[in-house]
Amino acid sequence: MVFIVHLIIDTIKAYPRPNIWTFIFDQLLHFISLYLVFLYIINDFSLKPLLNFVFKDRNLTILFSVLLVTLPVGIFISKVLDSFNKDLNLESLAYSGLVIGIVERLLTFELVMLNQYEAIGFLIASKSFWFGSKSEFGKKERDYILVGNLLSFSTAIIVGIITKMVLE
């Protein structure tokens, strides 16, 4: 049943040109369908089981947040950046950008959890040093990379702050 629902959702998503809104809607539908199956299994159709399950255990909350700042946020950022990527040739950065983004978001999230906000400034400074040394990029490429970096750091900081608020 879950397979069929996910197949239908992904088939519907494939028809319009995927963008950030179709991605968010698609993920929301996947989450809702899995949650409804979960509720059917435990026979309790409310949000309470999910909230108890996710937020009761400190380690599970942190694991959820860490997983969130890796690929899901990376996909979100790539969808936002699709509008910038129309006439850019950044294929050489595709994989390295994904890996660098995941690492910087994990480090940023960890620094937020440790209240080391000043160290995030050093991460941003080191990234801008690298960025400034890349003379082969034109203005559009630099804008694309800068927007991606700001989204990456911002989302990791936001997820870190929300996680800390939930844990307190």
Q: 157 falls in which pLDDT band (50, 70, 90)?
A: very high
pLDDT bracket for residue 156 (50, 70, 90)? very high
Considering the domain architecture, whether residues 81 and 21 belong to the same structural domain is answered as no
Into how many domains does the chain fold? 2
* Chain centre distance of CA 128: 21
Same domain membership, residue 149 and residue 76:
yes
The C-alpha atoms of residue 13 and residue 109 are separated, in whole angstroms, by 31
Average pLDDT of the chain is: 78
Residue 168 to residue 154: CA distance in whole angstroms: 21
Residues 71-98, mean pLDDT to the nearest whole number: 75
Q: What is the mean pLDDT of residues 14-26?
A: 70
Name the nearest CA neighbour of 26 among 39, 15, 37.
Answer: 15
Q: In terms of domains, do 87 and 148 share one?
A: yes
Distance, in Å, from the CA atom of 108 to the CA atom of 123, rounded to the nearest integer, reads 8
pLDDT at 60: 76
Q: Shortest CA distance to 109 belongs to which of 72, 73, 158? A: 158
Listed range (25-39, 49-63, 133-147) with the worst mean pLDDT? 49-63
Q: How many Å apart are CA 89 and CA 59, to the nearest integer?
A: 41
Distance, CA of 29 to CA of 130 (rounded, Å): 39
**47 and 66 share a domain?**
no
> What is the domain extent for residue 6?
1-51
**Does the pLDDT of residue 46 top 70, yes or no?**
no
Measure the CA–CA gap between 153 and 112, rounded to whole angstroms.
Answer: 11
Note the pLDDT of residue 30: 77
Q: Does residue 63 share a domain with residue 120? A: yes
CA distance 30 to 36: 10
Nearest to 123 by CA among 154, 92, 147: 154
* pTM (predicted TM-score): 0.68
Rg of the Cα trace of the chain? 19
Q: Let me know whether 144 and 165 are in one domain.
A: yes
Residue-wise pLDDT tens digits, 112-152: 999 999 999 988 888 777 766 666 677 777 788 888 889 99
Residue 24 has, within 13 A of its CA and on its CB side, a CA count of: 7
